[in-house]
A = this chain, B = another copy of it.
Amino acid sequence: MKIEVIENVLKLNDELAEQNRTRLRAAGVPCIDLMGGPGCGKTALLEATLATLGHVMRIGVCAGDLATTRDAERLHALAEQVVQINTGKSCHLEAHQIGQALARFDLPALDLLIIENVGNLICPVGFDLGQSAKVGMFSLSEGDDKAVKHPHIVCACDLLLLNKLDLAPYLTFDRMRFRDEIERLHPGIELVELSAKAKDAGFLRWIQWLTAHARGAEHESANLSGAR
């Protein structure tokens, strides 16, 4: 009985996620689900990303947290549109919350939507939100065992980021081991090592990936429209 209820919850989530996906595709808006532990630098990455791309792309952000509007406040000046979702005690975003948020966005006025999930390496992974790509974020200060300890996020994502490279001189972190363990868990996935703070070469690779994904998702949307 318990399992049946859990399956229904996940099944309902998947149905609502598919509705979100259809809505986003119809509007031609690619959507990134950015997941990572608390304090890995998701908001800092978004600040740097918006500062870099804000003049050439209209980017909306949907920020999830248990409480406060801190992230939305930080991003408000930079993003085209921002919606904050406060989950209360819930440890992840779900498709129905994104559905409510999408209704508040002016989607045709956006080129890209980034969802900043609740800071958590575990629970967000199981919930499809209707995104076009999932990005998982780690940071150097969390330690080099976090990928192997969290295999599900490593396997679920389309791109992985390792942030806070600027702290490398002050930390013990075996980047080769981290990279090898990710390759074993999810062969072929790209891992971008970067510093959102320093806006280094890795950060530029992230910007490149993001713009390429936005273009690809737009093409997909055009194809879908053409097929109708």
Residue numbers of A with Cβ under 8 A of B are 1-2, 5, 9, 37-39, 65-68, 70, 89, 91, 118-123, 126, 139, 141-143, 145-146, 148-152, 164, 166-167, 170-171
- 26 intermolecular pairs with C-beta atoms under 8 Å apart: A1-B5, A2-B5, A37-B38, A37-B39, A37-B119, A65-B149, A66-B149, A66-B150, A66-B151, A67-B149, A68-B145, A70-B145, A89-B126, A91-B91, A91-B122, A119-B121, A120-B121, A139-B141, A141-B141, A141-B164, A141-B167, A166-B170, A167-B167, A167-B170, A167-B171, A170-B170
In angstroms, Cα B140 to Cα A167, docked, is 12
Name A91's closest neighbour in chain B (CB-CB).
B122
- Taking A1-B5, A91-B91 as known contacts, 4 extra A-B pairs with beta carbons closer than 8 A to each other, sorted by chain A number, are A38-B146, A38-B149, A68-B148, A68-B149
Contacts of A67 in B (CB 8 A): 148-151
Contacts of A148 in B (CB 8 A): 67-68, 70
Determine how many copies of this chain the complex contains.
Answer: 2
Residue from the set A5, A38, A68, A121 with the largest chain B CB neighbour count within 10 Å: A38
A141 contacts B2, CB within 8 Å?
Answer: no
Residue from the set A89, A149, A152 with the largest chain B CB neighbour count within 10 Å: A149
In angstroms, Cα B66 to Cα A151, docked, is 8
The residue that A118 contacts in the complex, of B68, B122, B142, B171, with Cβ under 8 A, is B122
In angstroms, Cα B175 to Cα A180, docked, is 36
The residue that A122 contacts in the complex, of B70, B89, B146, with Cβ under 8 A, is B89
Residue from the set A141, A148, A170 with the largest chain B CB neighbour count within 10 Å: A141
In angstroms, Cα B166 to Cα A126, docked, is 36
Name A70's closest neighbour in chain B (CB-CB).
B145
Name A38's closest neighbour in chain B (CB-CB).
B37
Name A172's closest neighbour in chain B (CB-CB).
B197
